[in-house]
């Protein structure tokens, strides 16, 4: 069962020889990296920047076949200061390594986008600061739901793919004046597509707070003239039942409840290693009530398609005097042969 643990504690790192920040920011080091970074390395680095932190397990789901091959490559990226890492204190056993963007990685991404590394707003202390965040477990869980979708889409017999994955920050930049989802996603299966805003509930907030968000999603639907589907993941079936009661009441108060389709699920519907697997037949729509639990792909046939795609309103924020933002990554890994793939 996934719970919301106490504040994470930074345990330090194993001692490896790593160059200083001024060295890895130099043109010599950057040119050396040109010969050593693969397309998969660059994509993973951009994913970690976009979503702030990814664990070893999540990185394996995104782009590797085995944990051993991923660990070997991640160690190299750590030594080159493309990535930095920390290991939170666990209630029992060992936590996986958590990876964040490091100085050389930030410079690589900036140069790829034709930007000045000093003006993209990257700060190493801030990147590492998430190690102490009270919201670390929540962020890792949100990211885990999407890395699992990428893992499914990477399989040889896959029938679906992740078409969009927006981080919490990207959502906030686009429509944070109305509502702040934990993430936004699109899943394409065959000719059908389903999109959703994710609300991941660890059971620590008052249920009424989620009802306020339903009103906010309704206001977003009015402002954008598109429907705003919401998937709500919570911890237990008991809490899900209580949540559905207050959500049903909230939808009744809307002028057009169809603008905000809602489906819920609970962690204890699945085995521990599948608590965050969104592809399972686990989603229970609020309306119509007689549908029973559905898979993500089946929701595409139940919810109406979006009339127009969402757009990112923050694309040209450099004109407003704010730090220029790096381009977001594609949600699926790059295709084609990778020089490191033989070892994976």
pLDDT digit string, tens, across residues 51-64: 999 999 999 999 99
Q: How far apart are CA 337 and CA 243, in angstroms?
A: 47
Degrees, nearest 5: CA angle 167-168-172: 115
pLDDT digit string, tens, across residues 276-327: 999 999 999 998 766 799 999 899 888 876 655 566 655 444 444 555 789 9
Residue 49 near residue 106, CB atoms below 8 Å: yes
Taken in order 172, 174, 179, 185, the sign of the CA dihedral is negative
Q: How far apart are CA 310 and CA 163, in angstroms?
A: 12
Least confident interval from 87-91, 180-184, 237-241, 305-309? 305-309
Domains along the sequence of the chain with CATH: 21-134 (1.10.10.10), 156-302 (no CATH)
Residue 149 near residue 278, CB atoms below 8 Å: yes
Q: What is the mean pLDDT of residues 268-277?
A: 95
Cα 211 → chain centroid: 23
């Amino acid at each position: 069962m996934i719970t919301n643990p106490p504040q994470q504690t930074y345990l330090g790192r194993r001692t490896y020889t790593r160059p200083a920040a001024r060295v890895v920011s130099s043109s010599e080091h950057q040119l050396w990296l040109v010969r050593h970074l693969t397309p998969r390395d660059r994509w993973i680095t951009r994913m970690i920047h976009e979503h702030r932190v990814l664990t070893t397990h999540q990185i394996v789901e995104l782009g590797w076949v085995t944990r051993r091959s991923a660990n070997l490559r991640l160690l190299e990226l750590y030594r080159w200061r493309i990535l930095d890492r920390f290991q939170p204190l666990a209630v029992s056993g060992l936590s996986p390594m958590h990876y964040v963007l490091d100085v050389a990685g930030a410079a690589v991404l900036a140069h790829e986008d034709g930007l000045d590394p000093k003006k993209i707003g990257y700060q190493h202390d801030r990147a590492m600061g998430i190690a102490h965040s009270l919201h670390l477990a929540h962020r890792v869980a949100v990211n885990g739901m999407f890395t699992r979708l990428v893992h499914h889409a990477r399989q040889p017999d896959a029938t679906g793919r992740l078409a969009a994955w927006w981080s919490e920050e990207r959502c906030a930049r686009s429509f944070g004046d109305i509502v702040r989802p934990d993430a936004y996603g699109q899943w394409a299966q065959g000719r059908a597509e389903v999109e959703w805003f994710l609300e991941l509930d660890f059971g620590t907030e008052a249920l009424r707070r989620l009802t306020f968000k339903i009103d906010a999603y309704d206001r977003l639907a009015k402002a954008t003239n598109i429907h705003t589907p919401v998937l709500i993941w919570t911890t237990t079936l008991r809490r899900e039942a209580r949540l559905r009661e207050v959500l049903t009441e909230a939808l009744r108060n809307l002028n057009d409840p169809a603008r905000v389709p809602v489906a819920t699920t609970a962690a204890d519907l699945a085995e521990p290693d599948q608590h965050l697997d969104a592809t399972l037949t686990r989603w229970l729509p609020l309306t119509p009530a007689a549908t029973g639990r559905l898979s993500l792909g089946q929701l595409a046939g139940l919810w109406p398609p979006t009339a127009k795609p969402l757009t990112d309103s923050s694309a040209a924020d450099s004109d407003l005097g704010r730090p220029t933002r790096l381009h977001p990554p594609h949600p699926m890994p790059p295709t084609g042969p990778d020089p490191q793939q033989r070892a994976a």
